[in-house]
Structure 1
Amino acid sequence: MKSNPSPRIAVLFATAQGSTRDIAEFIADDLVAHGARAELHDIEHAPDLSGIDTVVIGSAIHDMDLLPEASAYLRHNLNTLAHKDVWLFSVGLGPALRGPIGRWIGRRIPRKVADIVTAVRPRNYTAFAGQYERAGVSWRARTMYRVLGGARYGDLRDWQAVRAWSSRIARSLGLPHASTSIVHP
């Protein structure tokens, strides 16, 4: 009886300040712990996808849109991605917002991102919170952040949510439970 080889997964990311890279690295490590063959790449150095079964793509959100290199990659590779198992995630402030207005805004997918999600048709799209440092942020932006329910600055990433999403990918691929527990950065 021949056993099925582990699925080959490319985890691609576009980052501005490192939060998205850290999350992508965590996802790749977690998928490897589940028995997958996962490789991590900056989206600008993405591999040829011909031997890849599943593609996980993440991008930071700036100005209500994915980073330009992520948008360009997704649009340029629509035909190839249509034949792959694709999972998308973004990293921004929305998921960290609290209060009634903040939670409502945080659940909304920005129009430009929604257009890309519609075009790519991933198996799942999710948004994670990133890091938001107070230094260098204008008074106006800090005020808006507080009004929308931003409670604190710093590392706002929810590693349990990232692990749950990564485990969801692993389950969908029929991978076994992780043999080791990945520690977040």
Structure 2
Amino acid sequence: MTPTRKVAVIYATEQGSTRDIAEFIAADLADRGAEVQLREVGYAPGPADFDMVILGSAIHNMDFLPAAVDYIGRNRAELAATDVRLFGVGLGPALRGPVGRRLGRVVPKKIAALRDAVRARDYSAFAGIYERRGVSRKARTLYRLLGGGRYGDLRDWSAIQGWATGIGDSLGLPAASTHVIHP
């Protein structure tokens, strides 16, 4: 019998999209037999007691939220010695058109530096929720020019499920007995 795999799923969210994705990933891994601790980054445990740390953050100004950056900075050495997976939640993956698709695949320099500092095994970006309300005309115009076509919930749950499945497989977890249904 294989030992239980211990996974920390840590998130930094501003409006809730990143929390929803983290909850989905945590539930998927728990259903496959992992011992999962889901925590907001301000209450996150240190990484030393885990086989894997999954850290997700909303992306603002091409960077993780300050609380996620601070967590990585405080725990850099321990994270570098742990199996780390990072994910970001922002608009990039929702962009379409020739320019938008290309920009959506680029890992922002600040995030790439964080990824490299902790030797993260993987980084994936997911779209979040983008509401038109409260967005300036300039930002809406830029969004349209880059290929943003719609507002609302832009999350691709099948891509998120695929990423979570890959993580579970890499941990040697058995197939899920049930499937997690997104929010």
Give identity over the alignment, percent.
57
* Deviation by residue 1:119-175 (Cα, 9 ceiling, x = unmatched): 111111100000000000011100100000001000000000000000000000000
Unaligned runs of 5+ residues in structure 2 are none
* CA positional deviation for 1:181: 0.6
TM-score, L = length of structure 2: 0.98
Cross-structure match for 2:107 = 109
Question: Following the alignment from structure 1 to structure 2, what is the Cα–Cα distance between the partners of residues 154 and 148?
Answer: 17
Unaligned runs of 5+ residues in structure 1 are none
Question: Following the alignment from structure 2 to structure 1, what is the Cα–Cα distance between the partners of residues 46 and 146?
Answer: 41
Question: Following the alignment from structure 1 to structure 2, what is the Cα–Cα distance between the partners of residues 161 and 151?
Answer: 19
Which of 71, 74, 79 is residue 73 of structure 1 equivalent to? 71
Question: Following the alignment from structure 2 to structure 1, what is the Cα–Cα distance between the partners of residues 168 and 116?
Answer: 23
Question: Following the alignment from structure 1 to structure 2, what is the Cα–Cα distance between the partners of residues 164 and 34?
Answer: 14
- Give secondary structure in 1 for the equivalent of 2:7: strand
Question: Following the alignment from structure 2 to structure 1, what is the Cα–Cα distance between the partners of residues 7 and 114?
Answer: 21
- Give secondary structure in 2 for the equivalent of 1:79: helix
Count of paired positions: 183
Question: Following the alignment from structure 1 to structure 2, what is the Cα–Cα distance between the partners of residues 79 and 118?
Answer: 12
- Stretches (4+) displaced over 4 A: none
Which of 142, 145, 150 is residue 144 of structure 1 equivalent to? 142
TM-score, L = length of structure 1: 0.97
- Give secondary structure in 2 for the equivalent of 1:50: helix
Cross-structure match for 2:118 = 120
* CA positional deviation for 1:51: 2.0
- Structure 1 vs Structure 2 CA RMSD: 0.8
